[in-house]
Structure 1
């Protein structure tokens, strides 16, 4: 879309407003990642410019992100010798950014946008809740004016409590940090159009000047390096590449999931089309650009994009203006933030971490679906107890296992006819549904494959043990999307076993691709080709023509409930949805 001159003023104003958020957040998230604050500004500039060139979204804003900070720290800090070499930390973070960029560009070129779907929403909620708690606990020492060397939520909690017990708290630091948190939250709640972070930062700098907080033990950011770094290829050892690659995979996955969700949300509001593969390529370019100028991995930011949108942003010129203003600050005013208290940066990070947590979503899962609530809590505990990077592995693994679980134990039931209601329906929902003597209509809601084929066979055999024994077991196979070779062998053995009992295995509504697979497997040599019907109605009509059976109501027990003979017997299958 061509740029419109009418957008220029709005983009410049929005870019100026956005800068007031980019600078303090960039510095805070850099320190969250275990890096010098200045690297957050370098990163902000490069990712904004790169996305302005390659990004498909008109207003999406990239930058350092609170959800990636702990992952970056968890990747690079174990590789740094005790005592902390900031130069080596920057080199490792820059290489990590290049790796993330390469992975996301590759994903975009190969159209692998579906990878972002590997984390289900319940596990993502649990992961983010754990991440929010980890960030919160990790920032408490800085908020209270002291430092710890602990790693991991449990150790960091112990170290913080030990620091409190040892009297390391700096009262002035606590006052600045807590006041900053309160100010941000109050302004965000009651005056959302006011740049809360900027107001807090300016207030903290003013308090430092008036009260001389540095002499009261409050750590300050200090003078930032002047100018902008040159193009630099980070130098790291061969032994560092393995751990960096593992971290890059996790960061790329979270970054892609975050980017796609934010792009979808803002595209829906602005009427744009989401181009997922182009988004991935653009995010990769932004990470690669940051990595070449002493930056670290970035992602999209819902909060910063919302600020730009509210300020009137119309195009990526907004981000370019923000990047230009940051460069001017670095060149002309490097001492602008030297009196900014470190507890104020901790307040920025803590308030950001609170926005990551989704307590309402967790509560909704508890009320709506307990199985997904347990997945959420497992992901939360994975982050809290194992760490940030293992936590993302746990989240992905749980999501994949949940998919496999649903395919392994799909819902299945017996169907009956409901007078006045077209079609055939679940007897659990309609316990008085009619049935035909000698015919069982069984529906299996999933593909037949190696993991569930034996369970399917056992369920069919269980249905044939009712009295009187059915003549036909009709499988309503429309939901069966696949049959693999293991399942085909089970079907062959099942048909032979039923034939020995005088029971016919019949299929209806089998999809054409699945039917062709069955024919390719040679199953039609065992299962009579005449036992495949295009619809349930056709199969029922054939059965009635053969037997003369008439529809009768379901048998009922003394309490008026449907009889177990209609498929309600307990066991692994059938089962109700969890």
Structure 2
């Protein structure tokens, strides 16, 4: 039924045989949701309990509005540093946790509103603003930022530094000053090794849960708190009430900037994960519905002391491997977290903070894409440089500035390709239909007096002079051509600036005794040419439906019976 939330539509055709699989998958998923939720909350500069509140609300909201049957939303390692970078500068020097939660909740509401409106307006293309090379660079920089930021916690102390270089300096200074807590380093380091080993060699075992349980056991057995190791402590009992966060008016502007960046990353992450898992299950990706769903999830989290969320590829993979069939898996996970908070809120009181740092560090390692970076270096140096620039943007300027750098670089890369597009002289290749680039076919044949030129981009203000320069270069060839034929099939647009340049170019060529001729110009572009009144200077008879027709007209007009000759001009 139209207008029915996707989760309700799924419920209408739910199969009884899915129930056991969904419940089991929900139990398995919860073992990952709890420690990661708390760890990513601390990564965002918030109390651990807010990660559990966020997990519950976003899972329930996505179960109602989410179009994917198994996609899992929740606190995310890629968003944590962005949330922290947005709210921490707004918090007073004493680091008031209540104010931090209020700011994060408003941030979630803003992200929810942005993504919800974008979904209603069907603006799914916004997620394409970051190209893959710049996203790889951004994620590599984010992984390094997270890793460095968690090292002090892993070593048992804290720093007040801002920025990657400052954090490295403060961490080194702390180690040099003897602030390291040996027990904390031991717990955290062993936790990292254990998670990585289990994920590598025994992927079906919940590595994070095993590490967390062992860390809690070690805490009780060795009294780690007496050895200087910080523990999570008792969590508040129950769920928070519906809350409208109270912040200052002057907080809205900086929160809005952060919300835009977070929404963009969240949408890109959601669409890419939805596409990957939909391809496995044969589902279609409904981008606008995904945006509405993630917006709803963020709104729900923001109204119950939560923070912005995104999809998680790792948690979705866990649910999939555990046999999840529908979003009932997420509902089961949410209910189990609620039961834990209501009945046993002290369950994780003895969890060492370095263990949470280990969870975050192992997650950050999964964000880095070394193989993708090497592939860019091997396949396309220009895109490798974009990747490195995005990486440096995050590492040196911070995560919020880094996302702006990534988006800016992606847009500039598109503009660069349109500004300096590929162009080629074409020739006839015996035995191959059509006309082809003489750089690819050095022995391609050309007709004396005729140059066939292809310009692979729309003609607009930024590249019109580049087009003009290339055509004039061809006009200065020896012997000079009589016709320069533009194979215009790739020219999808001509703006007014380009029209003026074409008019001037045609006059210049006419003075040299050269005709400017077009073939395969698309009908919408041809109508624009006529509307610009270019046919006042360019002969209306010099527009041909095909290159072959133009070549035949060239022979007829010039009266040439010359043969096609091999070799480039």
* 1:373-384 matches, cutoff 5 A: 373-384=384-395
Partners of 1:422 and 1:40 lie apart in 2 by 62
Cα distance in structure 1, aligned partners of 2:275 and 2:465: 41
Structure 2, unmatched stretches of 5+, are 1-9
Residues 71 and 274 in structure 2, CA contact (< 8 A), matched pair in contact too: yes
Query: After superposition, what is the alpha-carbon deviation per residue over 1:103-132, rounded to whole angstroms, capped at 9, x for unaligned?
Result: 000000000000000000000000000000
Residue aligned with 1:254, SS: helix
Supply the distance in 2 between the matched residues of 1:165 and 1:549 (Cα, whole angstroms): 86
* CA distance in 2: counterparts of 1:271 and 1:469, whole angstroms: 58
Tell me by how many angstroms 1:551 deviates: 2.9
Q: How does 1:380-399 map to 2 (within 5 A)?
A: 380-399=391-410
Give 1:257 shift: 0.1
DSSP 3-state at the match of 2:333: helix
2:69 corresponds in structure 1 to: 58
Aligned twin of 1:569: none
TM-score, reference length from structure 2: 0.97
Query: Which of 268, 271, 277 is the matching residue for 2:288?
Result: 277
The one of 175, 179, 188 aligned to 1:164: 175
- Identify the residue that residue 99 of structure 2 maps to in structure 1: 88
Over aligned residues, Cα RMSD in angstroms? 0.7
The 2-side partners of 1:436 and 1:289 are apart by 69
Gaps (5+ residues) in structure 1?
556-561, 567-578
Mapped pair 1:324 → 2:335: yes
User: How much does 1:67 deviate?
Assistant: 0.1
Instruction: Please state if 1:548 is matched with 2:529.
Output: no
- Residue in 2 aligned with 1:207? 218
The equivalent of 2:499 in structure 1 is: 488
CA distance in 2, matches of 1:490, 1:339: 73
Partners of 2:435 and 2:564 in 1: CA distance: 14
Aligned residues: 557
Could you tell me which residue of structure 1 aligns to residue 122 of structure 2? 111
Task: Name the residue aligned to 1:33.
Answer: 44
Match runs of 1:120-131 below 5 Å: 120-131=131-142
TM-superposed CA distance for 1:468, in Å, is 1.3
- Distance in 1 of aligned mates of 2:68 and 2:17: 19
Which of 473, 486, 489 is equivalent to 1:478?
489
Q: TM-score, normalised by structure 1?
A: 0.96
> Are 1:303 and 2:303 matched, yes or no?
no
Instruction: Tell me the residue number matched to 2:529.
Output: 518
Give the SS at the match of 1:421.
coil
After TM superposition, which residue ranges in structure 1, 4 or more long, deviate above 3 angstroms?
Answer: none
Report the Cα distance in structure 1 between the residues aligned to 2:502 and 2:114, rounded to whole angstroms: 43
In 1, are the aligned partners of 2:448 and 2:565 still within 8 Å (CA)? no
Q: How many Å apart are 1:376 and its aligned residue?
A: 0.2
Contact 2:62–2:73 (CA under 8 A) maintained in structure 1? yes
CA distance in 2, matches of 1:150, 1:275: 42
Residue deviations 1:396-440 (CA, integer Å, cap 9, x gap): 000000000000000001001111111111000111111111000
- After superposition, residues 2-401 of structure 1 pair within 5 angstroms as 2-401=13-412
1:396-407 superposed matches below 5 A: 396-407=407-418
CA distance in 2, matches of 1:227, 1:105: 29
For 1:384 and 1:200, how far apart are their aligned partners in 2? 30
CA, structure 1 residues 464+549, in 2 after alignment: closer, same or farther (shift >3 Å)? farther
- Is the partner of 1:88 in helix, strand or coil? helix
Partners of 1:468 and 1:52 lie apart in 2 by 71
